[in-house]
Amino acid sequence: MAAGAVLRAAQASLLPRTGDEPPVTIPRDPAREAAERELSKPQYHQDDPSLLQRALDRFWDWVGDLFSAASQATPGGGLGLLVIVVAVILLVVALWWRLGPPQRTPATSAALFDDRPRSAAEHRAAAEAHAAQGHWNQAVQERMRAIVRALEERALLDPRPGRTADEAAAEAGRTLPAHTSQLHAAAREFDDVTYGGRTTDQPAYLRLTELDHDLDRTKPTLAETTATSAAHSNGPAV
């Protein structure tokens, strides 16, 4: 029996009777209580929404009320609110694309090389292998190591364990002053991908590759080279 039918039956019991019917003996309050008991039975609530569904309905009603209030307070109404939301989303996407995911800046720079020494040719071969697979972070790291190792092999840098990329760039810039800015940029790129958690790309690798080739063809400044050699000969290695 439907809930409405039960309620109507309870109400009908309270209507005046004709002379052919027995007199009404159920007062109004007991009749109402009987109807409520009948309507509380499980068969009348089988199609009721679940607790989760009711909670979701209330949540979406709240979201709808929130947007309705915001659209009324925004110039242009709902369209104006939509334009503002789209503009904010585009701004966030642009910043994310330009700056990359937020990363924690390292407190100090670690050593440029690992424990196993390799030649400049080995570092170049490793860089090319990584580049062929599109692993640009590793390719940039190996190309920077190749640059520094090549300068050490040419005696333009004193071989020194534990040297950082920034230190190598600063020292090499004294004997190769025309490439000082490129060396510092390469060191920053190395630090960003190695210790800063940033990702790099093919153009960055190609810049380091071009710098590697340019340095290989560049003659050092002799005065600086002589002074550096004299300083190393007169004192202990750093």
How does pLDDT run along the chain (238 residues), one tens digit per residue?
445 555 555 555 555 555 555 555 666 777 677 777 766 666 666 666 777 777 888 887 877 776 676 666 656 666 666 767 777 787 788 777 766 555 544 444 555 665 567 899 999 999 999 999 999 999 999 999 999 999 999 999 988 888 899 999 999 999 899 999 999 999 999 999 988 889 999 999 999 999 999 998 888 875 544 444 444 433 333 2
Instruction: Identify the pLDDT of residue 144.
Output: 94
Instruction: Identify the pLDDT of residue 232.
Output: 44
Residue 162 exposure: Cα atoms within 13 Å on the Cβ side: 3
Q: Amino acid letter at 149? A: R
Instruction: Identify the pLDDT of residue 179.
Output: 92
Cα 208 from Cα 214, distance rounded (Å): 10
- CA torsion sign, 94 to 100 to 101 to 107? negative
Closest CA relative to residue 111, chosen from 66, 144, 78 = 144
Query: What pTM does this model have?
Result: 0.49
Alpha helices in the chain (DSSP H): 3-12, 28-39, 51-73, 77-99, 120-132, 136-153, 165-175, 180-194, 202-217, 222-234
CA angle 181, 185, 188 (to 5 degrees): 140
List all residues 6 or more positions away from 106 whose beta carbon is below 8 Å from its beta carbon: 191, 195, 196
